[in-house]
Amino acid sequence: MEEAKELYEVLGLPIDATPAQIKDAYYRLSKLFHPDRHNVEQKLTAEQKFQSVQAAYEVLSDPIKRQIYDKYGTKGLKVEWDVGPAGQSTEELQEAIREQLQAKESQNLDLLVQNRTETNVMINATPLFAKNLRVRNPLALGMASTRELTLLERFSLVQWVSFHLKNSFSIPLSTSKNSKFPIPNFFQGSSKDDDFSDPLEDNESINGSTRLIFITEASAKPGARTQPSLSAVIRHQPSARLSTETGLSILRPGIATVKAIYALNNETFVIPMIRVSSYKRPPQATVVIGRQISRYGTLSVRWKTGSWSLGSWGAAYPSNNASSFSIIWQQLKPSLDDPFPVLKWNAELTAGLLYSGVGYNYNIDTLGPYQLQCGTSLSTVGGLQVTADANRKVFRHSAMGLTVAIGLPSGALTLNISWSRLGQKFSFPIMWSSALDRSSAFWGLALPIGSILGVDYLFLRPRRISEEKRKRALRLQQHKKLHDTKKEAAEQIVSLMRELVQKKQKMEAEKGGLIIEYAEYRTIPRKSALTKRKEGVIKQDVTIPIASLVDDSRLVIPSSVSKSSIIGIYPLFSDADKELLIVYKFHQQSHHVLLRDKQGVLLPNREHKLL
């Protein structure tokens, strides 16, 4: 938390400072900025700095206030805490604070409602490239003649095949900030069979231990009635290892579903699910068992009962023979941008009465801004199919994708164009051609891909660059304003310290102690990526701030603190690396040391002596 550094910077300390360091810094700075030790012109400024030091010490010296500040920042200090009796352990204190913070936030639960919408429109565009598609020619007098359809006539035959709309929103009934999804991070669900409740989005955390989810769906086809459905799901997580879901379809046909996710340990999990459509037939069940075999490899098995009967129970209903058994291997890989591993490839083998097949998907390393995936599957239903998928982030919260699927040996070509933004997703599957030829390959592959790349390069890319420039200029403006504010404050502090520091240095000189002759905080020269020349060095004279750290002929700078957080030193307006030069005398001998920005030092040191 960035704001949690402010009070530490007031005392010139790192975040992990000990109580003794906090106390020493307070005594040193309170003496330095005490209003009675400054003249009339500087008294007002000194009083402001003195009050800031006192306020910082009041928080950081109190274990409870410091813990609240470290976790919640200055906002946490404004809350009226009632943390219970004294003598609590750290864990008990954290739990008490957590419970009270949850009570304070309960009035804002309506802001936590999560909403997702999926829109899917399937389009049949096969008439565009269908061969032997002819109509009678009325201009052929006295002869039975046909002609090929014009392009406009072919376009008129393109129509939508199905429309599906799904909307879900969830409401937290009880919150728990320690809730964690019980499935270990090494597993990423690869099966799409479980559509009982919405899956978690990438990087989504479970904000509530109990959530109520409403799911509405509507499907439509040309010439058929719309089929609406409404379901309610309660997702409850009683422990870190167990998560349960119970759902009920409110509209006909009434379907009840119960699902549980249980982690036996950090390597093994079990997911049972039961689906009940009628009391007149046995329920359908699905069981998934997974275990981490290697560091990034997970093996899981899935068994589906399908429809079945037990004696006369369910015999009146036709069996769909959907029973199947699947073996799934999932291989992950470490990611530089994500704390958790990401999917590298997965393979699935399924044997069933209605469907049997094998599938393989491989995630190609990111190619520039594009995320690519290719896959293939062979089944008793769809034959051999090859797919290629490309996605890219268009704006901060928007992404677009294109999926191409080719069936072999028929050559049936299907495209899927998608757009997603903040939980809203639009998909347009297009049945492009029933047989692949040069014309359909060009218009179905080259044209869409070229069009998407052209739109991205000619329209979206300039907009992204313009937006990035605007944000960068805004950040620079904010940083410049913050830099000027800190520079002004540092200069005021230096003017307050100058006279007292000079007196201390004079006393050090009289006893042959540690004297800071010169100190400079500066950027390290580097070559510009554009001009290939060394950039100018930005310097800051920090002799007074460094000399103020001298205490009894010793100077200590912790290694975990940036030099710009030392009292009287302001950050340099540059992203280049920084260094600190200190020239000092000890026992009348000249010394010299050059430090990196977060390099610690203890002065004097005989290794710094100039020969």
pLDDT higher than threshold 70 for residue 178:
no
Calculated CA dihedral for residues 442, 445, 449, 451, nearest 10 degrees: 40
Asked if the structure places residue 580 within a domain, the reply is yes
Asked if the structure places residue 570 within a domain, the reply is yes
Please state, for a pLDDT cut of 90, what percent of the chain lies above it. 18
For residues 276 and 294, is the Cβ–Cβ distance under 8 A?
Answer: no
- pLDDT confidence tier of residue 583, bands split at 50, 70 and 90: very high
Asked if the structure places residue 371 within a domain, the reply is no
- CB-neighbour burial class of residue 90 (10 A; exposed 0-12, middle 13-18, buried 19+): exposed
Residue 488, by phi and psi: left (phi above 0), alpha (psi -120 to 50) or beta? Answer: alpha
pLDDT at 200: 42
Exposure of 322 in the CB half-sphere (CA atoms within 13 A): 10
Q: In whole angstroms, what separates CA 213 from the centre of its chain? A: 23
Structure tokens at 453: 């790349």
- pLDDT confidence tier of residue 192, bands split at 50, 70 and 90: very low
Identify the residue with better confidence: 576 or 195.
576
Please state, for a pLDDT cut of 70, what percent of the chain lies above it. 81
pLDDT higher than threshold 70 for residue 136:
no
Structure tokens at 506: 């004079």
pLDDT higher than threshold 50 for residue 352:
yes
Give the DSSP H or E segment for 114: strand 114-124
Name, of 6-15, 85-94, 248-257, 290-299, the range with top average pLDDT.
Answer: 290-299
For the segment 466-486, what is each residue's pLDDT rounded down to a tens digit? 888 888 888 778 778 888 888
pLDDT at 196: 42
- pLDDT confidence tier of residue 377, bands split at 50, 70 and 90: very high
For residues 271-279, average pLDDT: 89
Amino acid 608 reads H
Report the alpha-carbon distance of residue 551 to residue 603 in Å, rounded: 10
Amino acid 419 reads W
pLDDT higher than threshold 50 for residue 58:
yes
Cα–Cα distance list, 316 to 292, 309, 319 (Å): 42, 9, 9
pLDDT higher than threshold 80 for residue 23:
yes
Report the alpha-carbon distance of residue 6 to residue 4 in Å, rounded: 6
Report the alpha-carbon distance of residue 161 to residue 159 in Å, rounded: 6
The Cα angle at residue 151 between residues 453 and 125, in degrees rounded to 5: 60
- pLDDT confidence tier of residue 289, bands split at 50, 70 and 90: very high
pLDDT higher than threshold 70 for residue 137:
no
Residues with Cβ < 8 Å from 493, sequence gap 6 or more? 33, 49, 545, 567, 568
pLDDT higher than threshold 60 for residue 86:
no
- pLDDT confidence tier of residue 204, bands split at 50, 70 and 90: very low
For the segment 490-547, what is each residue's pLDDT rounded down to a tens digit? 888 888 888 888 888 999 898 889 999 999 999 887 765 444 556 678 899 999 999 9
Nearest CA to 206 out of 266, 269, 261 is that of: 261
pLDDT at 37: 77
For the segment 161-170, what is each residue's pLDDT rounded down to a tens digit? 999 999 988 8
Asked if the structure places residue 509 within a domain, the reply is yes
Strand ranges, E, within 221-356: 227-236, 242-249, 256-263, 268-276, 284-292, 297-304, 324-333, 342-352
Full domain range(s) for residue 518: 487-611
Phi, psi (degrees; rounded to nearest 5) at 578: -115, 160
Asked if the structure places residue 611 within a domain, the reply is yes
Total structural domains in the chain? 1
Report the alpha-carbon distance of residue 239 to residue 179 in Å, rounded: 8
Asked if the structure places residue 501 within a domain, the reply is yes
For residues 60-71, average pLDDT: 81
Secondary structure of 525-589 in HEC code, one letter for each residue: CCECCCCCCECCCCEEECHHHHHCCCCCCCEEECCCCCHHHCCCCCCCCCCCCEEEEEEEEECCE
- pLDDT confidence tier of residue 321, bands split at 50, 70 and 90: low
3-state DSSP helix/strand/coil % of the chain, to nearest 5? 30, 35, 35
Average pLDDT, the chain: 79
pLDDT higher than threshold 50 for residue 123:
yes
